[in-house]
Structures are given as structure tokens and as C-alpha cells.
Amino acid sequence: MIDGHMHLENGPLTKEYVLEFVESAHQKGLDEIQILDHTHRFIEFEPIYEELKQYEVQKTWLENKKMKFKDHLSDFIELMEEVKAMDLPVKVTYGLEVCYVPQHEEYIRNVLSQYHFDFVVGAIHSIDGILYDMGFSKELLWDKYDVNHIYKRYYELVFQLIESDLFTQLAHPDTIKLFEIYPTYDLKPTYEKLAQLLNKHQMKAENNVGCYYRYNHPDMGLSDELLEILKKNHVELITASDAHKPSDVGSYIKEAMQRII
């Protein structure tokens, strides 16, 4: 069993903290974990968040220096290489979860090209400068814009992310559903296109259960409809907890795996 998505972001970049994730994975019977942090932890990526700052609440969220843009990529990589060199009970690899923003694609490409990562996960967390998954997103986005428009833009951005060829894995493909607000149009053609693009660009898709236990969404990861289309197209799937603390590592991975086989 693999848990392909977990974050160190609430703790320090120390060996002791990473080993808590390893230990938790071992206890839950996992064989492999992928550790990644959001690009908003790292000083090198601050410029790609510029557009978000046009809204005061987002600016405040980004200016929390205890959480955001506090470390250098080289320190994360050095730490993870040190951990990987240890004799561990589970396989450990590391990468990033990049907040993909099309305007900053070349900037992202340039930064990524300067470092080694075992994998790079791409995620859409904002729609044209507005985060969709925060408490304040209801007022900023969902109450203000047409739901069909939000979904259309979300999947257009996902397609651009895939076509950038910067990533090996797509984070939580249908997480735009997290507040259980749905469009009125049929998403099947979108899902078919998504499956084809993922295959064409040799990307894995996550069955990420973060929405299930962190946002109380009823789906154990992907929706039945999307999962069925991805399976039919033989898209490579990976189970992921989206743990933000050691105790959440491996959460619902067994259940998530049962759905993808």
C-alpha cells in the first residue's frame, strides 16, 4: 500500500519530524510514502502567489510568515535525501505539490529545473486568482460566480496543468466538489478528456481522501463517475491521504485502494 500525498507543513524541517511520518506509515502497514510540501512553504515560489494578494483575506493568509515562504527548497531536499539514506521500514520519496498558475508556468519550470525531485505533483487551488477551498472562498468565489463557470474554469486549468508537462501526478482531480456544490451540466465529457490527457502526458491521478475526512465530503476520494471513467481509460491511479500531520498518514488508504482496483 502506498500513501502518495502528505505534508510536513505544520512542523519543522527536521529528521525527527519526518521520522514521525515514517513511523506512522509503518504502524498502518504501508509499504511506501510520498512526502511533499506545498510550494507556498518555500521562499523560491513566492512570486507565483502574486495574483492571490489582490484580495485582503488571501493576502493575510499568505503573509503568515510562520507558515508561508519560510524555508528554502535546498533545505527540504537535503533533509529528505538524508532521511532516504537511512535504513527505514517503508520506502520514502519526496517531491512538491505545486500550485499551478498558468501565468507563472515559465517561472515554475525554471525553479523546478534547478532541483531534483522524485516526483512533482500539480494542483489547482485557485480559479483566476481566487482560492476555492478556504472558509472565505464561499464569499469570495462560490457566492459571487456562476457554479458552471467555476467548474469550467477549474477543469480548463487542470488541462493546462497537464499539458505543461511539468508534473508526474495530478493532485485530488475533482476536489472542486469539496463544498458539495455541483454544476448543472454533464461532467462526463470533461472526465473523458481528463483521462485522455493524463494518459497522453503519462501522469498519475490521485484517489485522494483528504476531502472525505478533512472536509466531510461523502466520496472516498474521486466520485464514482470520474473513477469509472479513469479506470475505463486505464489511467494510473495512486492512493493518497493528504495528511497534514503524522497521525493522519495512511488514513483510509485501504478503503481508497479497494476503490481503485
Taking the complex as a whole, the smallest distance from the CB of residue 242 to Zn ion amounts, in Å, to 5
Taking the complex as a whole, the smallest distance from the CB of residue 206 to Zn ion amounts, in Å, to 9
Torsion of CA 203, 180, 50, 110, to 10 degrees: 0
Q: Tell me how many residues contact Zn ion (CB under 5 A).
A: 4
Does the protein bind Zn ion through residue 226 (CB under 5 A)? no
**Residue with the shortest CB distance to Zn ion:** 123
Question: Are the beta carbons of 236 and 205 closer than 8 angstroms?
Answer: yes
Taking the complex as a whole, the smallest distance from the CB of residue 244 to Zn ion amounts, in Å, to 8
In the numeric block, which cell numbers belong to residue 210?
483528504
Question: Are the beta carbons of 166 and 122 closer than 8 angstroms?
Answer: yes
Does the protein bind Zn ion through residue 124 (CB under 5 A)? no
Question: Are the beta carbons of 48 and 41 closer than 8 angstroms?
Answer: no
Question: Are the beta carbons of 250 and 25 closer than 8 angstroms?
Answer: yes
Dist CA 201 CA 180 (whole Å) = 29
Does the protein bind Zn ion through residue 123 (CB under 5 A)? yes
Taking the least distance from each CB to Zn ion, the nearer of 11 and 192 is: 11
Taking the least distance from each CB to Zn ion, the nearer of 97 and 174 is: 97
The 3-state DSSP class for residue 137 equals helix
Binding mask 89-108 for Zn ion (x = CB under 5 A): --------x-----------
Does the protein bind Zn ion through residue 44 (CB under 5 A)? no
Does the protein bind Zn ion through residue 242 (CB under 5 A)? yes
Pick the piece of the chain touching Zn ion (CB under 5 A) from 26-34, 136-144, 217-225, 237-245. Answer: 237-245
Taking the least distance from each CB to Zn ion, the nearer of 101 and 123 is: 123
Dist CA 37 CA 133 (whole Å) = 17
Taking the least distance from each CB to Zn ion, the nearer of 178 and 260 is: 178
Taking the least distance from each CB to Zn ion, the nearer of 242 and 248 is: 242
Q: Helix crossing, 147-163 with 188-200: angle to 10°?
A: 10
Residues 151-210 that bind Zn ion (CB under 5 A): 171
130-131 and 126-127 strand pairing: antiparallel
Taking the complex as a whole, the smallest distance from the CB of residue 181 to Zn ion amounts, in Å, to 18
Taking the complex as a whole, the smallest distance from the CB of residue 9 to Zn ion amounts, in Å, to 9
- What length does the chain have? 261
Taking the least distance from each CB to Zn ion, the nearer of 160 and 192 is: 160
Taking the complex as a whole, the smallest distance from the CB of residue 121 to Zn ion amounts, in Å, to 8
In the numeric block, which cell numbers belong to residue 150?
467555476
What's phi and psi for 245, nearest 5 deg?
Answer: -150, 155
Nearest to 227 by CA among 216, 237, 217, 240: 237
Q: Which residues bind Zn ion (CB under 5 A)?
A: 97, 123, 171, 242
